[in-house]
Chain A
Amino acid sequence: MKASSQSWIVAIALAVAIALPLVAPTYYVQFASKALLMGLLAVALNLVVGFGGMVSLCHAALFGLAGYSLAFLTPEGEGASIWLSLPAAVLVSSFAALVIGALSLRTKGIYFIMVTLAFGEMLFYLLHDTKIGGGSDGLYIYLKPEFGFGGAALDLERASTFYFVVLVCLVLGVALVSMLVRSPFGHALVAARDNERRARSLGFPVYRIRLTAFVISGALAGVAGYFSAAQFGFVAPQLLGWHLSATVLVMVVLGGMTSVLGPLAGALAIIGLEEVLKSNFEYWKLIYGLIVMAMVFVLPGGLQQLASMVLGAKPASEDDAVERDMTAPHDDAATDRLRPELLRSEAKAHV
């Protein structure tokens, strides 16, 4: 897709998103808020997975930790102040991301996937098995955060107000990620993904760059988790479980990892699909699972591939989203990722 047609699509989508609460009933507004929050989580995850080349399976834990932080910070009988609780929740998620990232980034490839998964599950079991956060029953958040400034205040209990706040967060989050991937930092991150050795020999502090991306991604996941918890009024350990992490990964891949907005489209598609399947089939997870499996084989390029198949256009290349760093090795990068023998030789057994 050309840049101009892409910005048209974005503009139209944004207009629809703004008009939605004015026409749709409350249920759909709430549903849309939920979908947008998943979208924010997917956009956050893609910074690490798509641009950083690190497949993380602990983002649900970072997401859930922020939700638990809100639950802890909400006093009895009143809502927590958003000015205090939101930064605190994001700080908790970022700190968790810093610790998990610092340890996990010592590894790569399959190891990284397994280690992030294990640390995410550690947080799950911590909240599930101990009484810190109400154990497996979770905690209630009876009142939504209070969003006051000066004398005025936004009433987050109103579905449409909440929706607009979420929309603003999403737009800000997308803007932040777009800015990052276009910045020298983002180019270095992509270069390290494509050819780590070369990036390192060019003097990029690869470990620090990746860790920074991981922490920023964790902070954004925290924002999504904070508002999700506020919306449902309830947090449970399942929020941190790796099934959610994997689902968000599906959203990212379906939407396309090469663009900032792709994962948002993927999230909306998956949330919509889930809703349709849930209301029509008893064993919806069977169909859902088969669709995920089919996607891996039939549609490895995700929705972008589908769009280009339908429109008959040439598949969108990475350059649409990110101009490659001139220092990044173009040809090697593209071919290295496609050469199976290189990928397979990564995992060698030695008994």
Chain B
Amino acid sequence: MSAITFAVQLLNGVQYGLVLFLVASGLTLVFGILGVINLAHGAFYMLGAYFAWWIAAYTGSFLMALIGGVALSFMLGLLLENVFVRRLYGRDHLAQVLLSFGLILVVDELRQILFGKDVYSVKPPPWLEGSIQLTDNLSYPVYRLALCLFCLVLAALIFYVIQRTKLGMIIRAGAENRDMTRALGIPFDSVNRYVFAGGIALAALGGILVSPISTVYPGMGDGMLILSFVVVVLGGIGSVAGAAIGALLIGLTDTFGKVFFPQVSSILIYVLMAGVLLWRPNGILGKREA
């Protein structure tokens, strides 16, 4: 493998990992802060992609699709939190698993009714079309590069919000000790709502961002859900930094696995997960048991 192909694969792996990070960070925040396991996370990833296709088909603008898709998903998240998820705080995980499973069925069927089950593609914005010529017969699409950059900026923003802002402080305090936070008169419960909606929006954003490079299809959420779970298990529940490490590990393992060991590439990431479980059952950045 030449250095340039290696670099291209590396870039692919990093880009895949970055998208994975966006989706998985939404999941890990909802886990860590609300204590809610959301199996429907993948369904919102899929829904985001369909929103993007739908809006892009009407307006012809990818930017509109991006903004509109995220806004729609965020509002949907607020609504769901208000109607259903709120009643689940404090219920056992089994109830959360069942509710989110029911939610998947409903979302899938609504998608079927609204958008059908066809496979679609979304055009990237015109100024990001085309590709950079690397060698005579090797080029790299501009959109993928822009995607990397966008994800990096967003990741920095997420870290900034959580580490440096008042909102982030409330989130961290609530995650550490919910009752104490509440007792101190901090409006933790209203923050919950936005965390859940934000998690959904991040999943949808992932789906929107990949819609120009992969196709939009009904089963796209299932694979993503499992991958995000593996990322969270690798990184440690509730840890956004862990999710970043886990996502990059998975992105690189998967990309290079497909190149070097195509026969077993589909199970490589699970082997990785098994290894991490043996080494650190609570994830790489997870807390050790008290």
Tell which of B4-12, B209-217, B277-285 binds the partner: B277-285
Instruction: Evaluate whether A122 and B267 lie within 8 angstroms (CB atoms) in the complex, with A246-B97, A283-B112, A350-B238 already known.
Output: yes
Residue B191 lies at the interface, judged by CB distance under 8 Å to chain A: no
Bound complex: CA A296 to CA B100 (Å): 10
Instruction: Please pick, from B163, B233, B241, the residue contacting A111 in the complex, using a CB distance under 8 A.
Output: B233
- A212–chain B nearest beta-carbon distance, Å: 20
Residue A313 lies at the interface, judged by CB distance under 8 Å to chain B: no
Residue B89 lies at the interface, judged by CB distance under 8 Å to chain A: yes
Residue A129 lies at the interface, judged by CB distance under 8 Å to chain B: yes
Count how many pairs of residues, one from A and one from B, have CB atoms less than 8 Å apart in the complex: 177
Q: Chain B contacts of A246 at CB under 8 A? A: 39, 97-98, 101
Bound complex: CA A261 to CA B270 (Å): 35
Interface residues of B in 188-244 (CB under 8 A from A): 226, 229-230, 232-233, 236-241
Interface size class of B (residues with CB under 8 A): 35 or more
Residue A9 lies at the interface, judged by CB distance under 8 Å to chain B: no
Residue B32 lies at the interface, judged by CB distance under 8 Å to chain A: yes
Instruction: Evaluate whether A349 and B175 lie within 8 angstroms (CB atoms) in the complex, with A113-B37, A292-B98 already known.
Output: yes
B113 contacts A283, C-beta separation under 8 Å: yes
Interchain residue pairs A-B with the least CB separation, the first 10? A340-B90, A349-B32, A289-B105, A349-B238, A349-B175, A292-B102, A293-B102, A289-B106, A286-B109, A122-B270
Give A contacts to B, CB under 8 Å. 49, 55, 57, 103-104, 106-107, 109-111, 113-115, 117-119, 121-122, 125-126, 128-130, 242, 246, 249-250, 253, 283, 285-286, 288-293, 295-297, 300, 337, 340-341, 343-351
Give B contacts to A, CB under 8 Å. 28-29, 31-33, 35, 37, 39, 84, 87-95, 97-99, 101-106, 108-110, 112-113, 162-163, 168, 171-172, 175-179, 226, 229-230, 232-233, 236-241, 263, 266-267, 270, 273-274, 277-278, 281-282, 285, 287
12 contacts between A and B (CB under 8 A): A107-B282, A110-B31, A249-B98, A283-B112, A286-B110, A291-B102, A344-B90, A348-B175, A349-B28, A349-B29, A349-B175, A349-B238
